Amino acid sequence: MTEPHDHSRDPQPDHPEPGPQARRGMAIQALLIEKGHLTADKVREAVERLDMQNTPARGQQVVARAWTDPDFKARLLENAKIAIADLDIDVEAPNLVAVENTDKIHNVVVCTLCSCYPTALLGLSPAWYKSLEYRSRAVSEPRNVLKEFGLKLDPDVQIRVYDSTANMRYLVVSQRPSGTGDLTEEELADLVTRDSMIGVARARSPEPTTV
């Protein structure tokens, strides 16, 4: 199952040229620096602060809340953008869809033409997510791709691939690991990984306790 994309366009390179908006932004930045209203150091510091804020922590919080709060999970699966607004989280795309992994269904997210990605929830996208190989093979042979990530699914598990767009982002709600009944929501969030929210991995199992 893939979200429709305009496949009549040629796939973009792994590191596509900046679009019109990006070029306009760079031109404005260069002009502000030239006029003395801004410095390159200030730009760098702002980018660093933004990068530090972009971590998977928000997505981990959302998934952990879904594991512990059935009402929140129901609202998340019905309308994810509205549900996460209750946690003071917003995403850059107009729409956000949460999909739940089960014993019989495993969900994977890709963006076949570029690298649309819910940065506000998952942090900075990994290089492999933007690679041409992942963008093409995740749709054509998802089971093999998952196996290469170390995730081997039973043959009877259905794989659904969701294709992100500029208007649509996806969040995979992985299955809650067994043996976590006594963990707090904060402890559960530590088990959620970026890759599990993309769908190329399961959530981590808790470390065994030692006596």
Q: What does pLDDT average to in each consecutive run of 10 residues of the chain (211 residues)?
A: 40 42 63 71 54 78 98 98 92 92 98 91 92 96 96 97 95 97 96 97 84 48
Residue 91 CA to its chain's centroid (Å): 11
Task: Please state the pTM of the whole predicted model.
Answer: 0.76
Burial of 67 (0-12, 13-18, 19+ CB in 10 A): buried
3-class SS at 161?
A: strand
The pLDDT score that the predictor gives to residue 85 is 94
Q: Which residues are catalytic?
A: 111, 114-116
Whether 119 contacts 92, CB under 8 Å = yes
Q: What is the DSSP letter of 115?
A: -
Q: End-to-end CA distance of the chain: give it in Å, rounded.
A: 46
